[in-house]
Structure 1
Amino acid sequence: MFKNIKNDLPASIVVFFVALPLCLGIALASGAPLFSGLIAGVVGGIVIGALSGSQIGVSGPAAGLAAIVLAAIGVLGYKSFLLAVVLGGIIQFLFGVLRAGIIGYYFPSSVIKGMLTGIGVIIILKQIPHFFGYDNDPEGDFAFFQVDGENTFSGIINMFNNISLGATIIGIVALAILVLWDRVLVKKARIFQIIQGPLVAVVLGIIFYVSTKGDGQFAIAADHLVKVPIPDSFDSFLGQFSFPNFRAITNPEVWITAFTIALVASLETLLCVEASDKIDPEKRVTPTNRELLAQGTGNVISGLIGGLPVTQVIVRSSANVQSGGKTKLSAIIHGFLLLISVVTIPALLNKIPLSVLAAVLLVVGYKLAKPSVFKSMFNAGWKQFLPFIVTILGIVFFDLLKGIGLGLLVGIVVILIKSYQNSHFLHIEDSGNGQNRIKMTLAEEVTFFNKGAILKELDRLPEQTYLTLDVRNTRYLDADIIEILEDFSEKAKKRNIDIKLISERGIVENPDSYIGFFKLRPKTN
């Protein structure tokens, strides 16, 4: 595990700086105590990182669950909600035992690529206000309609009247450092590979905040800084942990919330696993059932000690990959960094400007949504580009799961259209002796989706036609299609259409029964 620590340690630092504001922001957007987001981040890093089979995936509190959590806390109260998190984790564990992890493989590649790109676009859009010091919307609120009553684009528009000069200056400096580090310095000397650009940007951000604190023009207000809870004593630190109300186990609302958390968290995790595997430079494949077992265990532990529900998170996973992370050690170390820093240096963390962390996330977002990705998907043809772009628009204007659902729906429609078009091949051989000779070759699989296309072609056949129907390559023929052929054989007699049926078994002229013929066909593997 430790042979790649030279890559994993720097990557874990970057993931730590990405995860810290997201843990706090998602907790705030969920209407939960801020400390609950940090608990979920620590559990996601250490516990799930150790148990998961993913080498580059990073888990933590998920923005996709924020709306569900907010509603559940309002109905159940926080301690009963924690019981729902524990039960949801147990249900997830059972999903893993029942091998439900295969579900993630049934999503088209174009939708998964759209998910990655859409996350990149939404990261950029959401971080622009933070970059300029407009922090009304908490970090981690990735929904189009924000918790501050605005939407993604109105937040950007309102930013122009609320720009913080100090936050903007250090944000621009941080972004310049990150770009310079990634494009130039890292190739010049090994020291720039060991010391990561995000760490330098954060240190400079703290120095800038401290040095300009008394300056009215360039000072960064407390609203534009990280806000980690600071306990007064060890007892007050322990007091931040909450425990489930097990007496609410008979409450039906608790079980409904538990199943909702289990289903949404499992689906989001499986989709993120599929996406993170695609950006893994070594193209390793994560065992999905083991991932559900790990996520379920993590949610049980998180719920027992007062944390939010946990899923694998593509924002952190992509930051891990782009920072050079090689193994799960990166995720585990990031969890320990969260734990140690929250316990030992919360006051120092609260001096980090959010605009600096926004610069880090802007780089992550750009790497996910490069213009070259749009170009390559466009060049792949409309069947790939349409589900891809619909997924992106759905994520930007709704949320992650709705965007994926819309992309999947479009992908299914595309499949149906192509199935309709490819059900058969019609070839006009020649015309002679007053009789048209037409050959129709059916596809390997012909289902009821193809009814319309085949029926249309048969009805268009003129009288005095000699139709050759070739089914030698057909391995599955739906009963609906056989029924169409049966009906057509009656019409053919009235229209003087002769039918020659060619199959593996031979040639049949004007067959009386297609049903009997296909029932007698030998089964093929």
Structure 2
Amino acid sequence: MDTTTVCSEMRTLRYDLPASLVVFLVAVPLSLGIALASGAPLAAGLIAAVAGGIVAGWLGGSSVQVSGPTASLTLVIAGLVHTYGWQATCLITILAGGVQVLLGAFKAARAALAVSPAVVHGMLAGVGIIIALAQLHVVLGGSPQHSALANLTQLPSQIIALHGHKVMVGVLTVTVLLIWGQLPKHVKAIPAPLAAMLVAAATAWIFGWNVTRIDLSGAITAWAPPALPHGDWHQIALGVLLIALLAGAESLLCCVAIDSMHTGPRADLDRELRGQGIANMVSGALGGLPVAGVIIRSTTNVRAGARSRCSAILHGLWVLLFALCLGWTIQLIPMEALAALLVFTGIKTVSLGHIRKVHGHNEVPVYAVTMAGVILIGLAEGVLAGLALAALLALRRLTRVSVDKRQEPDGRLHATISGSLTFLGVPRLTQELRAIPAGAAVDLDLNIDFMDNAAFEALHSWRLDHERLGGTVTIDELHDEWYTMAAAGARMYPAKSPPKPARHWWLPWTHRHRADRPASAAECRLVRGTQEFHRRTAPLVRPILTELAHRHQPSHLFITCSDSRIVPNLITSSGPGDLFTVRNIGNLVPRPGSEPSDDSVAAAIEFATRVLNVRTITVCGHSGCGAMTALLGGPAAMTNLPQLGRWLRHGEASLARLRAGNGEPESPLDAPDALEALCRLNVQQQLENLRSYRRVDEQVQAGRLTLVGLYFDIASAQVQVVTPPTPAAPVQTPLLPPEPGSR
């Protein structure tokens, strides 16, 4: 780290110091418990916590992740200790750290994120259950068996032969862990694991219970160098790879999870992998357990307010000082209390939240197979089984091609093909296509994100055969044009294309490629349009609409004409939730108290300014407005339209403004450009009418509300800004300059 980084992190010490103390209080009992479950010396857990905190915290790529011994490696470590002994296991840990350093140097960290989370959660759940079953025997006063099944089958006899005081310590520890989260906030400031250990130790000492004590005397100073393991080198290499890959994967996944919990710098995964490797080499050389990023300590660190890596480093220093100066206090903790802590921690790894997440992605079988494999067969075998099943399910999804067919009212057959069209889905595809009657007129929608050559050949051959037999096929592709490009002989790219909105969604019905078909009723087009929306557009906009379902906060009130040629969202490039829209004939804004009375526009203005707190009110007029044409035509133009005549009285001020601009207030307006001038002046008049509303005028004067006038020239498809009224003629400014050569 450079000097600037060190100075920056020193400024966060007031946050990191208390956070490091909280993590330290959590780390000590968990490190001892993991060492106990692994069959390693208890001091090995504290050494790993020191190496993980100081070395990985200093050299790693995450600013808030805390590393140390992890329960997920318990089975691997226990097997290595049983086979090769503790000193040989330390050398294997050093070699595993070297593998992690090499992987980080070759920037292989991202590959670990390709592992399905269902496999990871299933593995952790399986390991947690194995630990819980084994340590439950310790809580009951016995000894763990050689396998999870043996622990399960021996449990009834162990329960019968209960050892009173030891069981009471275990039950007391679990009880404290369960109720601690329900206590007042100032009490919960003490971490639950530490509180459980203190209560269990104090109770056993006060009542003089006969429990098993932990003895660390001389454990820290009785160091022996790592020894070369003897045995089949294939198995030794497998142990090295298992520790390197499992510890690395857990650290990287923990990094990604922690990044979502804080706003500081994002983690450098390759640097994190190198830091973890060096920490493992140091831990193994000092006689400690393997090190990995631990989610429990890391989340505790973030929630305690940590801002930088200083918290993780300080937590390692506190563990070191505790082991050197206060290690004698550990003998006050009953062994059964540590075992009960591991039972509780192991059961918590079976998270309902994780199960719900994988269920949402149909990956519960992967989770279950991984967990069952770890419990019944072994860690490596269970993980491999989960990975294999995940790969098979992914392959199966590639073969899942859905073909939806329905008969339209006009007699045409509409078919939609969805999925990824690969050679694996060709059998299903050809089966569905051959079921289409010969000679049918077919509209075929391709809602696909990929098409390989085999699928194209199958689809293209069917189309040629169908058309040769007198049928017709109209193909519409909703994503990139896989079929069109392949039919043209263009090069196909292997990457899947992102979805895009349906082509020509903005075209009127009369201009779409199916518009020449007869309709049995006028409303059929509308019904067909909703069906097309459900099929093409709804999947694209559903995430946004789901987010907006309980939140309505538009920034603009948009008042425009009812004319069907004006599409507010189209001409303003806005989307759902942006515009609070009011439409009426002539985009009129009646003044308060004017006759005939109308509350609809006033109600919208009131709601927009008092409830929605919009920042802008826009009045948008347009060329060729029918309402302005009627105003120019006078009463004779509205002889048979009495309601329209009454409504257009609100536009007489605009007409008077036009007459005044001509210098002849009572003169007829027959000039060719009179209609366009009135349409533009009407926008200015309605902006002026808006200021007659007290709330609007106050907000405009306070600078909290802006009034904007727009004019849409339909023929040129240009939107122009209408300036406030001036003595001269109004000025219109295009929002975008016209293209060169346009008029």
- The 8 Å contact of residues 403 and 418 in structure 2, kept in 1 or not, is answered as yes
Displacement, 1:155?
4.9
Compared with structure 1, are the counterparts of its residues 43 and 515 closer, same or farther at alpha carbon in structure 2 (3 Å cutoff)?
A: same
Q: Is 1:342 paired with 2:323?
A: yes
Match of 1:99 among 107, 111, 119: 107
Q: What residue is the counterpart of 2:196 in the other structure?
A: 201
Match of 1:517 among 450, 473, 488: 488
Identify, as 1 or 2, the structure richer in helix: 1
Query: Which stretch of structure 1 is more off in the superposition, 123-132 or 476-485?
Result: 123-132
CA distance in 1, matches of 2:227, 2:421: 54
Q: Is 1:447 paired with 2:418?
A: no
Listed as ranges, the matches of 1:172-251 within 5 Å are: 172-184=171-183, 186-187=184-185, 190=186, 192-213=187-208, 218-220=209-211, 222=212, 225-228=213-216, 230-231=217-218, 238-243=221-226
CA distance in 1, matches of 2:345, 2:449: 48
- The 8 Å contact of residues 53 and 313 in structure 2, kept in 1 or not, is answered as yes
Q: Is 1:53 paired with 2:61?
A: yes
Aligned residue for 2:329, secondary structure, equals: helix
CA distance in 2, matches of 1:357, 1:411: 36
Q: What residue is the counterpart of 2:13 in the other structure?
A: 2
CA distance in 2, matches of 1:329, 1:445: 49
- The 8 Å contact of residues 76 and 379 in structure 2, kept in 1 or not, is answered as no
CA distance in 1, matches of 2:349, 2:419: 39
Per-residue CA deviations over 1:305-337 (Å, capped at 9, x if unaligned) read 33343223446556x369847455554444334
CA distance in 2, matches of 1:417, 1:273: 31
Superposition RMSD in Å: 4.5
Per-residue CA deviations over 1:276-309 (Å, capped at 9, x if unaligned) read 557x477985432222011111122223333343
Could you say which structure has the larger radius of gyration?
A: 2
Q: What residue is the counterpart of 1:142 in the other structure?
A: none
Aligned residue for 2:214, secondary structure, equals: coil
Match of 1:267 among 249, 252, 272: 249
Q: What residue is the counterpart of 1:429 in the other structure?
A: 408
Per-residue CA deviations over 1:72-121 (Å, capped at 9, x if unaligned) read 66777766654443333222112112221112333455555556666665
Instruction: Give the letter aligned to residue 488 of structure 2.
Output: F
Q: Is 1:459 paired with 2:449?
A: no
Displacement, 1:458?
1.8
Displacement, 1:47?
1.5
Using CA pairs under 8 Å that are at least 6 residues apart, name the structure with larger relative contact order, 1 or 2: 1
Instruction: Give the letter aligned to residue 200 of structure 2.
Output: G
Instruction: Give the letter aligned to residue 413 of structure 2.
Output: I
Listed as ranges, the matches of 1:118-517 within 5 Å are: 124-134=132-142, 136-137=143-144, 147=146, 151-184=150-183, 186-187=184-185, 190=186, 192-213=187-208, 218-220=209-211, 222=212, 225-228=213-216, 230-231=217-218, 238-243=221-226, 258-274=240-256, 280=261, 286-314=267-295, 316-317=297-298, 320=300, 324=304, 326=306, 328=309, 331-361=312-342, 364=345, 369=350, 376-377=356-357, 381=360, 383=362, 385-397=364-376, 405-422=384-401, 425-429=404-408, 432=411, 437-443=412-418, 445-471=420-446, 476-488=450-462, 492=466, 497-502=471-476, 516-517=487-488
Displacement, 1:42?
2.5
Q: What residue is the counterpart of 2:95 in the other structure?
A: 87
Aligned residue for 2:162, secondary structure, equals: coil
Compared with structure 1, are the counterparts of its residues 252 and 113 closer, same or farther at alpha carbon in structure 2 (3 Å cutoff)?
A: closer
Per-residue CA deviations over 1:36-67 (Å, capped at 9, x if unaligned) read 44433331232113323345544334455455
CA distance in 2, matches of 1:41, 1:475: 48
Aligned length: 480
Q: What residue is the counterpart of 2:24 in the other structure?
A: 12
CA distance in 2, matches of 1:361, 1:504: 54
Per-residue CA deviations over 1:413-458 (Å, capped at 9, x if unaligned) read 55455544455554443675xxxx4344444743234323312212
Aligned residue for 1:163, secondary structure, equals: coil
Compared with structure 1, are the counterparts of its residues 133 and 339 closer, same or farther at alpha carbon in structure 2 (3 Å cutoff)?
A: farther
Compared with structure 1, are the counterparts of its residues 71 and 400 closer, same or farther at alpha carbon in structure 2 (3 Å cutoff)?
A: closer
CA distance in 1, matches of 2:192, 2:73: 31
Displacement, 1:204?
3.5
Per-residue CA deviations over 1:390-428 (Å, capped at 9, x if unaligned) read 555455545666555555555555545554445555444
Compared with structure 1, are the counterparts of its residues 516 and 369 closer, same or farther at alpha carbon in structure 2 (3 Å cutoff)?
A: closer
CA distance in 2, matches of 1:118, 1:73: 20
Match of 1:42 among 47, 50, 53: 50
CA distance in 1, matches of 2:294, 2:368: 21
Instruction: Give the letter aligned to residue 205 of structure 1.
Output: A
Instruction: Give the letter aligned to residue 113 of structure 2.
Output: Y
Aligned residue for 1:350, secondary structure, equals: helix
Per-residue CA deviations over 1:366-400 (Å, capped at 9, x if unaligned) read 665465765x559x657255545555545554566
CA distance in 2, matches of 1:207, 1:474: 66
CA distance in 2, matches of 1:322, 1:367: 20
Compared with structure 1, are the counterparts of its residues 498 and 356 closer, same or farther at alpha carbon in structure 2 (3 Å cutoff)?
A: same
Identity %: 25
CA distance in 2, matches of 1:81, 1:100: 25
- The 8 Å contact of residues 12 and 325 in structure 1, kept in 2 or not, is answered as no
TM-score normalised by structure 1 residue count: 0.73
Aligned residue for 2:362, secondary structure, equals: helix
CA distance in 2, matches of 1:133, 1:366: 19
Displacement, 1:17?
1.1
Query: Which stretch of structure 1 is more off in the superposition, 88-97 or 105-114?
Result: 105-114
Instruction: Give the letter aligned to residue 456 of structure 1.
Output: Q
- The 8 Å contact of residues 126 and 375 in structure 2, kept in 1 or not, is answered as yes
- The 8 Å contact of residues 28 and 46 in structure 2, kept in 1 or not, is answered as no
Compared with structure 1, are the counterparts of its residues 329 and 350 closer, same or farther at alpha carbon in structure 2 (3 Å cutoff)?
A: farther
Q: Which runs of 5+ in 1 are unaligned?
A: 138-145
Compared with structure 1, are the counterparts of its residues 358 and 284 closer, same or farther at alpha carbon in structure 2 (3 Å cutoff)?
A: farther
Aligned residue for 1:383, secondary structure, equals: coil
- The 8 Å contact of residues 69 and 290 in structure 2, kept in 1 or not, is answered as yes
TM-score normalised by structure 2 residue count: 0.54
Aligned residue for 2:436, secondary structure, equals: coil
